Chains A and B, each alone.
Chain A
Amino acid sequence: MKRICVEYVVPGMKLAKSVKGLDGSELFSKDTVLTEKEKEVLIDAGIDYVYIEGSSEAEEKRLMEILAQEYVFKFFMYVNPDSKVFSELYKIVVALVINSLNKGWEPPCEEELRAKNVERMKDLFFKDMGSPQDIIKHELSLASFPDVYFKLKQVLKSPTSSAKEIADTVSADVALSTKLLKLVNSPLFALTQKVDSIERAVSLVGEEELSTLALGITAIRYFKDIPPELINMDVFWRHSLSCAVFAKLIASQLQGINQEMMFTAGLLHDVGKLILFKNMPYSSVEALIFARENMVPVVEAEECVLGFTHTTISNLIMKNWDFPPSLIDIVGHHHEPYDATNKKEAIVLQLADNMANAVAIASGGTFVIPGMEDEVFYELGLEIEKLKPIVLKHIKVLQDLVAAIL
């Protein structure tokens, strides 16, 4: 017996319990075999869930597989159906969903996947009455980026900087150094020995590299004060971290790409969304609703609803904070890697974002896969067969990292 949303009923499923209407009267009795007709009645009646079973165990398994395929396919509507890359990802995700279903996971109903309207929160300006620059100006007037980052920058800039100085600067921030140590000790970094001091971490990972990671973790702290009723911060950072892990894992398969830079790029890739949520809360929710309804990626919905996107915002704010130019370039182009100066890195980030969204489907993710062209993917020189092992490795390390640094 399984509880599923009415929308996911596959003809042939049998009711394991009777279904009652809103006023308590019985609509369908137990053991009714559902067809498209009954399904329509249930949907019209506003019934959310039904308990179903197959006529045999094998039949139930078959129905669950169909359910998984249909469920996952909805998230892939925006991508090229002939894409080899996304066909592979689709298959991987269907397998993950079947696995989740077997463990008792219940796929969220269409209604839960939709962003909820909120009582109108005040946006900084009405449509076309302000610009991304106004948002940045307002944001900068509210809060400043954590100090430790600028101190670290100072140290790095000085020609006489030593590993010790860097380590001292980071260590002065206890929360930051704890998280950094947990991060570099995670299997993701595959260091051969346990690192128990920042000084050691600097020498093993590198000065630039460790500072880049410190930057990413510092940014998480800065953004933690968004009103939580508007955006689920856990889900947001989980997506960001998931993207970071994918970005690093993909980069590790390629030549000449800075893995730490990619990790931080992954962590920061969508921060523009957070700034939008803070300053344009109502429009941001409208954009999420628009995205879901139209089955389009959030970036495209932002363009329709706001007239600009989170990448523009990320770009501006990172420039104001004086972030490393390559990082700004990569993050700013994760939806259009073709225009990036660091093209290959931007492609890695785009792929990582797609994979993060795809894998999240099996645990209730809500976003339509934004897609990318296969030709762009091929520029990386990564074999499609590598995607599956990358996903498996990702799943292995993600949970611990969530606990360690979020």
Chain B
Amino acid sequence: MGTMSLGKLGLRKKIPNLSREEFKELTDFVYEKTGIAIPERRKYLVENKLGKRVLELKMNSFSDYIKYLKFSPQKESEFKKLCELITINETSFFRDIKQLTMFKNTILPEILEKKKQQGKKTIRIWSAGCSSGEEPYTLSMILHEALKVSIIGWDIKITANDISPSVLFRAKKGLYNDHSLRTTPDNMKSKYFIKEATGYRVHPKVQKLVSFQLINLNDDLAVKRIPPSDIIFCRNVIIYFDDEMKKKVLNHFYNNLMDHGYLFLGYSESIHRLTKLFKPVFKPGGIVYQKN
């Protein structure tokens, strides 16, 4: 009987045991590679989550798995797999609409005006940690809304990147379900999405402005190759980093931003304890950080 066999299995099921040492080695590895800091109190969570993967690979212990990650010929592809397992990709179109409205009504007009005066009609936006693409596409929609038909006179590029290959795959596909659209205003839905059998497709003119790349924010060289930006959105990403990694990433953003460029962070991410590189600017709808 099913319920009888449960008695023997309990919670452990078949997954191998994760010792304190293995946990440390694994989380050190993750931290070194990605900057993602996994606190000690999540040991069991890691054990339960990754245990499945260890079983899938038909290995008997986490030590074997760690060796595989570090030294096997498949280490690159396994690292990508690991990234998929440990990252949280929660996102949606028009997430934190108050902040986005503030962006559209105050920051964006300021930048557009400045560019017009300089006679340089280019805009560069970087969406760092873009997950499955909802954020950069939303920014593209906002630009379309702001510029309307005059958008053809502008040279706009939104560079979006993430560390997890599977979310980028979905981002490039540009096909979304209801859940991704749960915070999307109806008029945006009808204007920028095409309904298909298997979901909502982002309109090609929205897609055209966005390019996706697999980039690890902890990879200094790769980050330096990102073209200088007027605006950076990095929302709900640094919440997974420790202070040291946060500082490092903020430095990258500082170096990447053009003079007086703006940085948008997630609602619950504050950096004033960490750095003096940016000046917090308080606007109705949220805080935005300006390069000093």
Residues of A participating in the B interface, judged by any CB pair closer than 8 Å: 21-23, 25, 27, 44-46, 61-62, 65-66, 69, 73, 76-83, 86-87, 90-91, 94-95, 98, 111, 116-117, 119-120, 126-129, 282-283, 286, 289, 293-296, 300, 304-306, 371
The answer on a CB contact under 8 Å between B199 and A22 is yes
The answer on a CB contact under 8 Å between B47 and A81 is yes
The answer on a CB contact under 8 Å between A23 and B196 is yes
The answer on a CB contact under 8 Å between A300 and B6 is no
Counting CB contacts under 8 A, is B239 at the interface? yes
Can you list 28 A-B contacts (CB < 8 A)? Answer: A22-B196, A27-B198, A46-B176, A46-B177, A46-B178, A46-B179, A65-B2, A73-B11, A77-B48, A77-B49, A78-B44, A78-B48, A81-B47, A81-B51, A82-B17, A83-B11, A90-B10, A91-B3, A91-B6, A91-B7, A94-B3, A111-B179, A126-B286, A127-B270, A289-B90, A295-B45, A295-B49, A305-B268
The answer on a CB contact under 8 Å between B198 and A45 is yes
Chain B interface, >50% SS class: mixed
Counting CB contacts under 8 A, is B182 at the interface? yes
A117's partner among B17, B95, B269 (CB-CB below 8 A) is: B95
Task: Please give me the residue from chain B that is nearest to A90 by CB atom.
Answer: B11
Least Cβ distance of A91 to chain B in Å? 6
The answer on a CB contact under 8 Å between B3 and A98 is yes
Q: Give the tally of cross-chain contacts (CB within 8 A).
A: 121
Counting CB contacts under 8 A, is B273 at the interface? yes
Q: Which residues of A contact B97 (CB under 8 A)?
A: 119-120
B11's partner among A86, A129, A295 (CB-CB below 8 A) is: A86
Counting CB contacts under 8 A, is B205 at the interface? no
The answer on a CB contact under 8 Å between B12 and A286 is no
Cα–Cα, bound, A300→B44 (Å) = 14
Chain B 219-233 near chain A by CB (<8 Å), digits 1 or 0: 000000000000000
A45's partner among B11, B88, B177, B267 (CB-CB below 8 A) is: B177
Least Cβ distance of A118 to chain B in Å? 9
Counting CB contacts under 8 A, is B115 at the interface? no
* Centre residue among A69, A116, A289 by max chain B CB count within 10 A: A69
Cα–Cα, bound, A67→B176 (Å) = 27
The answer on a CB contact under 8 Å between A45 and B197 is yes
Q: Which residues of A contact B44 (CB under 8 A)?
A: 77-81, 371
Known contacts A91-B10, A120-B97: does B3 contact A65 (CB below 8 Å)? yes
Residues of B participating in the A interface, judged by any CB pair closer than 8 Å: 2-3, 6-7, 10-13, 15, 17, 41-42, 44-45, 47-49, 51, 88, 90, 92, 95-99, 175-179, 182-183, 195-200, 239, 267-270, 272-273, 286-287
Cα–Cα, bound, A261→B106 (Å) = 54
The answer on a CB contact under 8 Å between B45 and A296 is yes
* Centre residue among A25, A65, A111, A126 by max chain B CB count within 10 A: A126
Cα–Cα, bound, A94→B4 (Å) = 12
Task: Please give me the residue from chain A that is nearest to B10 by CB atom.
Answer: A87
Known contacts A22-B196, A44-B198, A98-B3: does B267 contact A128 (CB below 8 Å)? no
Q: Which residues of B contact A87 (CB under 8 A)?
A: 10-12
Task: Please give me the residue from chain A that is nearest to B98 by CB atom.
Answer: A120
Least Cβ distance of B199 to chain A in Å? 5
Known contacts A25-B197, A46-B177, A117-B95: does B2 contact A81 (CB below 8 Å)? no
Cα–Cα, bound, A126→B179 (Å) = 27
Cα–Cα, bound, A333→B195 (Å) = 51
Known contacts A44-B198, A127-B270, A305-B268: does B3 contact A81 (CB below 8 Å)? no
Q: Which residues of B contact A120 (CB under 8 A)?
A: 96-99
* Centre residue among B47, B95, B176 by max chain A CB count within 10 A: B47
* Centre residue among B92, B98, B267 by max chain A CB count within 10 A: B267
Q: Which residues of A contact B48 (CB under 8 A)?
A: 76-78, 81
Least Cβ distance of B10 to chain A in Å? 3
Q: Which residues of B contact A25 (CB under 8 A)?
A: 197
Task: Please give me the residue from chain B that is nearest to A44 by CB atom.
Answer: B198
The answer on a CB contact under 8 Å between B3 and A286 is no
